[in-house]
Structure 1
Amino acid sequence: MTLYRVRYCKDGPARFSSHLDMVRQFDRAARRAGLPVAFSEGFNPHPKFSFAAPLPVGVAGLDEYMDMELTQHIDPAELAMRLDANMQEGYRILDVKEITGRGSSLMALVSRAAYRATATVPPGYGEPELQSAIKDILDSKEIFVTREIKGKTKQVDIRSGIFRLDGGVKGHILEINMELLIGSTGNVRPTEVLEEMYRNGGIPVDPEDFRIQRVSLYAEGATGPVSLWEV
């Protein structure tokens, strides 16, 4: 058995597919490519794929990761080429490398994610107003959002999970960049930050009107966050 880490992009029409649809897409692409995928044992065997973190429907992923186990060794460059040739529109294989040893799963490794949100801004809203809204968020000691957890409504403080927040107004385009908590210890959604900036920060753009891209995924390294590709 050989384990490979696959770095890929999910954008365009593919960003509207669910996580389950994406898993099926990788399964079909691997079959069409004739890859010797390893399967789990049991009554309902499934391909040995593992993904770093699900993408919300509608959010593009520009630097995503999955691990794939094969029963035979294949050169990583050949694997990338064969897999990419069989992916549907919106998916692109960026790189593949062989993983030696059996460390933590991708889902256990990932700890934070970087997002970019862009939208058309109404006339009259500019850089000073945006920077004031960002400062208000960063100066807040608590930011509570409402979530449905196991059928119950709960107030959750997301402030400690906002590691970075900045942005700018360039012409008619408003851009907001975020680095947020994700993974087994918790999760802060980019839409929650945008909703806070809309309701309390005075940003005149509904969160649903932003196009959101997840641009990077990170693990915690010895001196700070590092790309999952470097783990």
Structure 2
Amino acid sequence: MSRYRVKFSKDGPARFSSHLDMVRFFDRSTRRAGLPVAFSEGFNPHPKFSFAAPLPVGIAGKEEYMDMELTANLSPEEVANRLDQNLPEGYQILGVKQIDERAKNLMALLSRAAYRAIAEAPAGYDTVMLQGALDEFMTLENIMVTREVKGKSKEVNLRPGIFKLAGTVAGHILEINMELLIGSTGNVRPEEVLKELFRAGRIPVNPEDFRICRTALYTDGDTGPISLWEV
């Protein structure tokens, strides 16, 4: 068996496809490409794919990751070319590399994600006002939200999972960049952060008016976050 890490983007019309749709797209695309994908054993065999983290419907991903196992040893360049030619519109292969069969899976590595949220800025609103509001928000010790978990309401403190917030206003475009907790230890969703900023009166734009993109996925290194591609 040979194991590969695939870096890809998901944008345009593809951002409206669900995670399950995406898994099916990759399954069909590897078949069309003639890639010798390894399958699990049992009554219902499935391709040996594993993805870093699902993207919510409507959110684009600029650097997404999946691991796949093949029954033959192909060059990463060949895998990338054959796969890229057979993916649906909106998906693009950015890179493929071969990894050790004993390497940690993506979900075990994943610890934080970067997001960019863009909306139209109200007249008279500028970078100083936006960044000041974000800095004040980051001084809070608790940012509580209510989530529904298995039919029960649960209070969750988002603040420990918000690592960075930065914003700019350029012309009529308001942009907020976030670095948030994601992975097996917890998850902070960008739309939750935008809702709390709006609810507290710290941004003058409705969260529903933002277009969100996940720009990077990281693991924790000794000196700070490291891109999953560098692991």
Alignment partner, residue 134 of structure 2: 134
Alignment partner, residue 33 of structure 1: 33
Q: Does 1:58 align with 2:58?
A: yes
Superposition RMSD in Å: 0.8
Alignment partner, residue 172 of structure 2: 172
Alignment partner, residue 76 of structure 1: 76
The CA deviation at 1:202 is: 3.3
Gaps of 5+ in 1: none
Q: Which stretch has the larger CA shift, 41-50 or 122-131?
A: 122-131
3-state secondary structure, aligned to 1:155? strand
Gaps of 5+ in 2: none
Q: Does 1:225 align with 2:207?
A: no
Contact 2:112/2:183 (<8 A) preserved: yes
Q: Does 1:9 align with 2:9?
A: yes
Q: TM-score scaled by structure 2?
A: 0.98
What amino acid does structure 2 have at the position aligned with 1:111? S
Q: How does 1:182-221 map to 2 (within 5 A)?
A: 182-221=182-221
The CA deviation at 1:29 is: 0.3
3-state secondary structure, aligned to 1:81? helix
Distance in 2, Cα, partners of 1:201 & 1:9: 34
Alignment partner, residue 145 of structure 2: 145
Q: Does 1:22 align with 2:22?
A: yes
The CA deviation at 1:146 is: 1.2
Alignment partner, residue 48 of structure 1: 48
What amino acid does structure 2 have at the position aligned with 1:145? V
Alignment partner, residue 107 of structure 1: 107
Alignment partner, residue 124 of structure 1: 124
The CA deviation at 1:125 is: 1.9
What amino acid does structure 2 have at the position aligned with 1:89? E
What amino acid does structure 1 have at the position aligned with 2:220? E
Q: TM-score scaled by structure 1?
A: 0.98
Distance in 2, Cα, partners of 1:150 & 1:195: 22
Contact 1:9/1:64 (<8 A) preserved: yes
Q: Which stretch has the larger CA shift, 142-151 or 131-140?
A: 131-140
The CA deviation at 1:92 is: 0.1
The CA deviation at 1:224 is: 1.4
Distance in 1, Cα, partners of 2:203 & 2:220: 32
What amino acid does structure 1 have at the position aligned with 2:99? I
3-state secondary structure, aligned to 1:57? coil
Q: How does 1:150-169 map to 2 (within 5 A)?
A: 150-169=150-169
What is the aligned residue count? 231
Distance in 2, Cα, partners of 1:178 & 1:80: 30
The CA deviation at 1:127 is: 2.2
